[in-house]
Amino acid sequence: MPAKIHISVNGEFCDKEGNVIQLRGVNLDPSIKIPAKPFLSIHTPIVDGKYFEDADKVSFINHPLVLEDVEEHIIRLKSLGYNTIRLPFTWESLEHAGPGQYDYDYMDYIVEVLTRINSAEQGMYVYLDPHQDVWSRFSGGSGAPLWTLHCAGFQPANFQATEAAILHNYYIDPKTGREIGKDEESYPKMVWPTNYFKLACQTMFTLFFGGKQFAPKCIINGENIQDYLQGKFNDAIMTLYARIKDKAPELFDNNCIIGLESVNEPNCGYMGEANLDVIPKERNLKLGRTPTAFQSFILGEGIKCTVDQYKRTFFGFTKGKPCTVNPGGKKAWLSAQERGTIDAKYNWKEILNGSPKRAFGNCMASGKIIEVGAPSYSNQIILVKPMKRFSLITISLSIIPRRITSSGPLIKNHSFFCNNQ
């Protein structure tokens, strides 16, 4: 078995003699990001609603590896000089069926994978990685289950129309299984940094880390959505961890499992952005259609909007001709009827001001990211980043479409007290 790792007073990994050691590791396999049964890669075309409707019926067993291949794989890695495995898994793989409904078969599969790693030629060090990219595979990456997006009021089936996220599954020819065209219009580029700044991902991370501040009235079964999502995530991860300790304590006794990550590559969402109507200067990588956060809200409401567009050139990423995105009235949010069906399915009860209502049901604005009160403009919503609990803000209202506001003519440069409650 691997030697016990000690920690020096300086936080270095050491052997029992105090000599600094180096962990040389590799991710075990990226297939953990997608279901094994049915096999749903990013090249699986979305041709009907079953991609979303059957999201609770998947299985990740045999991802990352078929059990019979584990020993051979570990021996090969050790021959290349590696002594450590980073074993990724996703929240979705543990809890895809619904809140609190765990896939114990998959957890037992992970226990068996770890057991076989431990027994292959004296084993390797392993640390566990709750992995995510861009929040979820339903928002163009991997990680969280579909029901988390529904919890926030999203309708992922409309992400393509509203450009709330880029899923390459939409750009695959069902007949050939190949990309539809090679130009960026037919097959848009998707890299993590660009999808991280789309409506779906930014909203979810804002709620996950800052729901109490940005959506204080979004309550799920008596909890703010921040506490609800964090609680479900932590419970799922620790349920797996406890199951490993219960079924295979030797993995800890033999120094196989040496750590558990918090989460891979978390995003800050909208937190820290001082102006939602501009692209932050520090965002260096811009590719394809690049709406501001405010434009994303507009598109999410089904309203057409003209946005900047960037292309990759010999000289780097260059702004091209602006283009108009028209969702055709489709919204990134669940309808009232869809919310009712999903709430009943997962037994979600939400209270807003004493009456059942989805806090994020219509758009980020009407979802009370910021609640603005002004005598002559009551119930209007101004989309700016709050800096304090109460702050005086001045904003040009000409940027706010009539459909998002709730009253008559707009007046430019009007001052409001911003109530962040």
Instruction: State pLDDT tens for residues 158-171.
Output: 999 999 998 888 88
CB-side neighbour CA atoms (13 Å) of 157: 13
**8 Å CB contact between 170 and 303:** no
**CB-based contacts of 357, cutoff 8 Å, min separation 6:** 350, 351
CB-side neighbour CA atoms (13 Å) of 221: 12
pLDDT in tens, 300-318: 999 999 999 988 887 778 8
Please report whether residue 412 resides in a domain: yes
Tally of domains within the chain: 1
181 phi, psi to nearest 5 deg:
80, 170
Work out the pLDDT band at 2, boundaries 50, 70, 90: confident
Query: Rounded to whole angstroms, how far apart are CA atoms 368 and 206?
Result: 13
Please report whether residue 385 resides in a domain: yes
Most confident of the following: 1-15, 56-70, 175-189: 56-70
Please report whether residue 255 resides in a domain: no
Residue 382 pLDDT > 70: no
Work out the pLDDT band at 421, boundaries 50, 70, 90: very low
Average pLDDT for residues 354-371, to the nearest whole number? Answer: 40
Percent of all residues in the chain with a pLDDT value above 90, rounded to a whole number: 63
Average pLDDT, the chain: 82
**8 Å CB contact between 96 and 149:** no
Please report whether residue 34 resides in a domain: no
Domain that holds residue 397: 370-419
Work out the pLDDT band at 182, boundaries 50, 70, 90: low
**CB-based contacts of 245, cutoff 8 Å, min separation 6:** 252
**8 Å CB contact between 145 and 95:** yes
What integer pLDDT is reported at residue 113 of this predicted model?
97
What integer pLDDT is reported at residue 315 of this predicted model?
78
What integer pLDDT is reported at residue 395 of this predicted model?
33
What integer pLDDT is reported at residue 208 of this predicted model?
97
Please report whether residue 375 resides in a domain: yes
More confident residue, 313 or 15: 15
Residue 393 pLDDT > 50: no
Lowest mean pLDDT among 23-37, 84-98, 240-254, 407-421: 407-421
Q: For residue 199, give the nearest of 238, 231, 237, 153 by alpha carbon.
A: 153
What integer pLDDT is reported at residue 358 of this predicted model?
46
136 phi, psi to nearest 5 deg:
-155, 155
Please report whether residue 378 resides in a domain: yes
Task: Report the Cα–Cα distance between both ends of the chain, in Å, rounded.
Answer: 54
Please report whether residue 173 resides in a domain: no
Average pLDDT for residues 135-152, to the nearest whole number? Answer: 96
**8 Å CB contact between 408 and 306:** no
pLDDT in tens, 229-261: 999 999 999 999 999 999 999 999 999 999 999
Please report whether residue 383 resides in a domain: yes
Residue 340's alpha-carbon distances to 56, 98, 113, 345, 347, in angstroms, are: 18, 16, 40, 9, 10
Lowest mean pLDDT among 5-9, 46-50, 187-191: 187-191
What integer pLDDT is reported at residue 267 of this predicted model?
92
Sign of CA dihedral 39, 40, 42, 46: positive
